[in-house]
Chain A
Amino acid sequence: MAIRIKDLVTKEKAMRQGHRMCPGCGAPTAVQQALLAVEQPVVITAATGCLEVSTTIYPFNAWGVPFLHSAFENAGASVSGIEAAYVALKKKGKVTKDIKFVAFGGDGGTYDIGLQALSGAAERGHDFTYICYNNQGYMNTGAQRSSATPKGANTSTAPAGKVIPGKIQKPKDLTAIMAAHHIPYVAQTTIHNPMEVIEKVKRAVETPGPAFVNILTPCVLFWRLEPSLQREICKLAVETRIWPVYEVIDGQWKLGYKPRKRVPVEEFFKPQGRFRHLFKGEAGQSVIEAFQKDVDEGWEYLLKMCGETWEPQA
């Protein structure tokens, strides 16, 4: 069924007002958009992180749907357990409704500490959607570096110092890692355009079997970003090809968007305080150049996987 915005805006939201996420935070935007087009009842599970602590401060609860959190590294195992119980209880007639299962984890809980549980859940083939709200660091504990943190970013455990200019390593390509599990649906997207997340998560949830969606979501506090720039920074991530949007459906890679022009990575850095040090001196400049090279290589790889070519306007 086609998605109509008129229907979406009147739909009761799974996550309600009163949560305590920061103004401008990308995570609640991603969650709201993700769940908007899901027509079936959902049960949510989340890894420990900003989303979880800010939505369930006892005795308050922002979730209008069933919600489970138990620890940081086990959202993949938790969603497996819920789905396993559902399958067993449905067979016995103790649960009668069709229910969908969505897990949320930040990049710390997904790229790093929760990767094993997610990989196991994907390999076992449970019917669930795992959404990583990727804000490129351990933001709940104060901006420590993760394996999703971009090269050159100033973080609290890879700070920009006199000798070392922030995080040295490039991030792990988790979306490709999940695609390598050969699960039926994998997508990478961000919140630059609401229909992007709405459509992709709907597809993910309606696909039987495991689905993974990696959503870049700004942390305005630790990206040192003006909160009103939430959408713009995501658009820049896509335009600079730092965060291309694409899907892998049953092993077929499908590019979602090709920028018309070659936009340098600096455009993504400029609005963010976490990259400010890169614009001061030669060390920073060499990081920017290395970053650009990584982005260009990643883009070439993606084009090849998608069977696409790219001819940007001069």
Chain B
Amino acid sequence: MSRKDITSGNWAVAEAMRQINPDVVAAYPITPSTDIPMRFSEFVADGLVDTNLVTVESEHSAISACLAASVSGARVMTASSANGVALMHEIFPIAASYRAPIVFGLVNRSLGAPINIHCDHSDSMAERDSGWIHIYCEDGQEVYDTMIMGVRIAEHKDVLLPVFVCQDGFITSHCFEPVEFMEDDEVQAFIGERDPLFPLLDIDNPVAYGSLALTDYYFEIKRQQVEAMKHVERVYKEVAQEFAKKTGRDYPVVDTYRTDDADHIIVIMSSAAGAAKDTVDSLRERGHKVGCMRIRLFRPFPAAAIVDALKDARSIAVLDRAASLGAPAPLFTEIKGALYDAGIHIPTNTYVYGLGGRDFFPHNAEEAFMDLINNKMSPEERYLGLRE
């Protein structure tokens, strides 16, 4: 059984949280993710959840309280954006190192300055080496589904890592669209109970979290996190497969659209994939063999799946919604690295688009495709939708 409703990306996250019914949510307001704790606090006020909601005094305290609650044995969730994410930065690698399976609704927004409340991926891209799992979603349905799958992936004994469920600020978070919800009991049956390893509140078996480990042990502990990350793709696939069986909605690590016979492929993330896919259709109608690949799982980076989808293309355009100032854009760098490791050389263009919420239209995608089709290839970074 399921029900369909018109909802926003933020409300979809809040609804997933209501159904998950976490033990603790500690959150702090910041645009555009504020709707999530606002909506959730209504559920708390109406007694629809058992959650202990901690309305902290900063994002730093939000993630610190989440981490402490998570290692205590609680199931924990939160949400934030941009500067809030940046303020939490110190605690992210600690949460990953303590193997705290926090599920985090990250609503992408540009980092200042200038201060700007609209979408780009500069906030989450700055956290790509923090040891968290990163999943980028295209629409509200996917955000809702990924929050639920995220619990299972994060808490899996072979993983035990926190997860960012990313959606585009305003574009997805505030856009009302139809979302199909599972029944409450279906969600509970899918996620099960959390069975924490070494909870802090197990008084009879005391443990210490947060030891000082210097030159003699730090490296080995980091190596264990590397190993945990290696298990993520397998666990992700198992969970996604089970989820697809229950709901009919399938979420591979990369979402390929008409790439099978494509000569030219755009690689993109999150909501802009919609405009890119529309452009694929219109260019196909005009006889161009083009396709689109959307990266869903970004950390760990699913290199094999990406190479498999790109290997037969004649040229590629990687579109980043974040710049790495002074170096090539982050997704572009990763894609090139994956192809290089596979021994494949395909000419690849790099574009930065949509910073600070600048709209991404089909004609922007077409511009990138036409560069590929007309063999205008260059390692120089180019910009879509920018006045120069």
Binding site for B on A (CB under 8 A): 41, 43, 45, 52-53, 56-59, 61, 63-71, 73-74, 76-82, 84-89, 91-92, 94-95, 97, 99, 116-117, 119-120, 123-124
Contact in complex: A77, B209 (CB < 8 Å)? no
A70 touching B98 in the complex, CB below 8 Å, given contacts A65-B206, A77-B65: yes
Could you tell me if B74 and A89 are in contact, using CB atoms closer than 8 angstroms?
yes
- The answer to whether B352 has its CB under 8 Å from any CB of chain A is no
Indicate if the CB atoms of A74 and B64 lie closer than 8 Å. yes
Assess the A80–B56 pair: CB atoms within 8 A: yes
Q: Are A67 and B209 in contact (CB under 8 A)?
A: yes
Q: Is the CB of A78 within 8 A of B211?
A: no
Query: Inside 8 A of B76's CB, which chain A residues have their CB?
Result: 85
Give bound CA distance, A45 to B206, whole Å: 13
Q: Are B203 and A99 in contact (CB under 8 A)?
A: yes
Beta-carbon contact of A120 and B57 below 8 Å: yes
Find out whether the CB atom of A86 lies under 8 angstroms from the CB atom of B50.
Answer: no
Chain A residues, Cβ within 8 Å of B50: 88, 91-92
Chain A residues contacting B67 (CB-CB under 8 Å) are 70, 78, 81
**Within 8 Å CB of A77, what residues of B?**
26, 56, 60-62, 64-65, 68
**Residue pair A117, B201 in contact (C-beta under 8 Å):** no
Residue of B nearest to A67 (CB): B208
Instruction: Give the distance in Å from the alpha carbon of A61 to the alpha carbon of B198 in the complex.
Output: 15
The B73-104 residues at the A interface (CB cut-off 8 A) are 73-74, 76, 90-91, 94, 98
Q: Is the CB of B211 within 8 A of A84?
A: no
New contact pairs (6) apart from A73-B60, A74-B91, A116-B58, CB-CB < 8 Å: A56-B211, A68-B71, A68-B200, A81-B70, A99-B201, A120-B58
Q: Smallest Cβ distance from A73 to chain B, in angstroms? A: 7
For B62, the chain A residues whose CB sits under 8 A away are 77
Task: Give the shortest distance, in Å, between B356 (CB) and chain A (any CB).
Answer: 29
Contact, CB under 8 Å: A43 / B201: yes
Give residues in B with beta carbon < 8 Å to A: 23-24, 26, 50-52, 54-58, 60-62, 64-74, 76, 90-91, 94, 98, 200-203, 206-214, 217
Per the bound structure, the CA–CA distance linking A86 and B203 in Å amounts to: 12
Instruction: Verify B57–A84 contact, CB threshold 8 A.
Output: no
Q: Interface residues of B: mostly helix, strand, loop or mixed?
A: mixed
- Tell me whether B54 and A89 are in contact (CB under 8 A): no
Which residues of the other chain, B, contact A45 by a CB distance below 8 angstroms? 68
Tell me whether A81 and B23 are in contact in the complex, defined as CB-CB below 8 angstroms, given that A56-B211, A99-B201 are known contacts.
no
Are A70 and B91 in contact, with the CB atoms below 8 A? Answer: yes
CB atoms of A76 and B212 under 8 A apart: no
Q: How far is the CA of A76 from the CA of B58 in the complex (A)?
A: 12
Contact in complex: B210, A76 (CB < 8 Å) = no
Select one of A53, A57, A58, A84 contacting B26, CB under 8 A: A84
Given A88-B74, A89-B74, A117-B61, A66 and B202 contact (CB-CB distance below 8 Å): yes
- Residues in B with CB closer than 8 Å to A92 are 23, 50
Q: Complex Cα distance A290/B50, Å?
A: 56
Residues of chain B lying within 8 A (CB to CB) of residue A53: 212
Q: Which of B57, B67, B91, B217 has the most CB of A within 10 A?
A: B57
The answer to whether A57 and B211 touch (CB under 8 A), given A81-B69, A82-B69, A89-B201, is: yes
Q: Is the CB of B201 within 8 A of A74?
A: no
Q: CA A120 – CA B64 in complex, angstroms?
A: 12
The answer to whether A89 touches B23, judged by C-beta atoms less than 8 angstroms apart, is: yes
B212 touches A56 (CB 8 A): yes
Q: Which residues of B contact A74 (CB under 8 A)?
A: 60-61, 64, 91
Most-contacted residue by chain B among A61, A65, A82, A119 (CB, 10 A): A82
| A66 close to B201 (CB less than 8 A) | yes
Determine the residue in chain A with the shortest Cβ distance to B209: A68
Q: Given the complex, which residues of A lie within 8 Å of B214, measured CB to CB? A: 57-58
* Inter-subunit contact B69/A117 (CB<8 Å): no
B201-A86 in contact (CB<8A): yes
Residues of A near B217 (CB, < 8 A) are 58-59
> Complex formed: what's the CA distance from A95 to B26 in Å?
20
12 A-B interface contacts by CB (under 8 A): A56-B208, A67-B209, A71-B90, A73-B60, A77-B26, A77-B61, A80-B56, A81-B54, A81-B68, A84-B65, A85-B73, A91-B50
Contact of A85 among B90, B201, B208 (CB under 8 A): B201
Residue of B nearest to A98 (CB): B203
**A71-B91, A77-B61 in contact; A85/B74 too (CB < 8 A)?**
yes
When the two chains form their complex, are residues A81 and B211 in contact, meaning their CB atoms are under 8 A apart? no
Q: Evaluate contact between A71 and B94: CB separation under 8 angstroms.
A: yes
Which one of A58, A84, A117 contacts B24 once the chains associate, using CB atoms below 8 Å? A84
- Whether the pair B203, A80 counts as a contact (CB closer than 8 A) is no
With a cutoff of 8 Å between Cβ atoms, the chain A residues found around residue B90 in the complex are 71
Selected from B61, B72, B94, the residue in CB contact (under 8 A) with A86 is B72
B24, A66: Cβ atoms closer than 8 Å: no
CB closest chain-A residue, reference B218: A58
A48 CA to B368 CA in the complex, in Å?
50
Pair A117/B211 contact, Cβ less than 8 Å: no
A70 x B72 contact (CB < 8 A): no
CB neighbours (8 Å) of A63 from chain B are: 206, 208
7 interchain residue pairs of minimum CB distance: A81-B68, A69-B210, A120-B57, A81-B65, A85-B72, A77-B61, A77-B64
Are A89 and B73 also in contact (CB < 8 A) when A58-B212, A84-B24, A117-B60 are?
A: yes
Are B210 and A56 in contact, with the CB atoms below 8 A? yes
Interchain CA distance A22-B5 in the complex, whole Å: 64
Chain A residues with Cβ below 8 Å from B201 are 43, 66, 82, 85-86, 89, 95, 99
A85 & B212 in contact (Cβ 8 Å cutoff): no
